[in-house]
Amino acid sequence: MLSNLFEFMVMFMVGMLVFSFKRKHLLLMLLSLEFIILSVFMFLYIYLSMYMYEYYFSMFFLTFCVCESVVGLGVLVSLIRTHSNDYYNTLNMC
């Protein structure tokens, strides 16, 4: 059980590392966020099953993660339609 928790912690740290290194591309940031969410969900599932709790919280977690993903993809689509790429450097803050 502890090896599974260690694996999920490594997945989380790798996702955070990719998120911090690929901060110029919105698509890569969204993919790394989904990887982080997947590792947190698996950790949550193992935690809830270890203590024999109900899995209702994991359903709420997945619902909010899907909403976050939809918002991120909507921002990505609107950014690509207006600027024709997903770089943050092309955005003008004026």
Instruction: List residues bridging with 87 in a β-sheet.
Output: 25
- Cβ distance 12 to 40 under 8 Å? yes
Query: Which value, in Å, is the radius of gyration of the alpha carbons in the chain?
Result: 16
Q: Domain map of the chain by residue range?
A: 2-83
3-state secondary structure (DSSP) of residue 3? helix
Nearest-angstrom CA–CA distance, 64 and 8: 20
pLDDT at 94 over 90: no
Architecture of the domain made up of 2-83: Orthogonal Bundle (1.10)
pLDDT band at 89 (very low <50, low <70, confident <90, very high): confident
Counting residues of the chain whose pLDDT is more than 90, the rounded percentage is 46
What pLDDT, on a 0 to 100 scale, did the predictor assign at position 10? 93
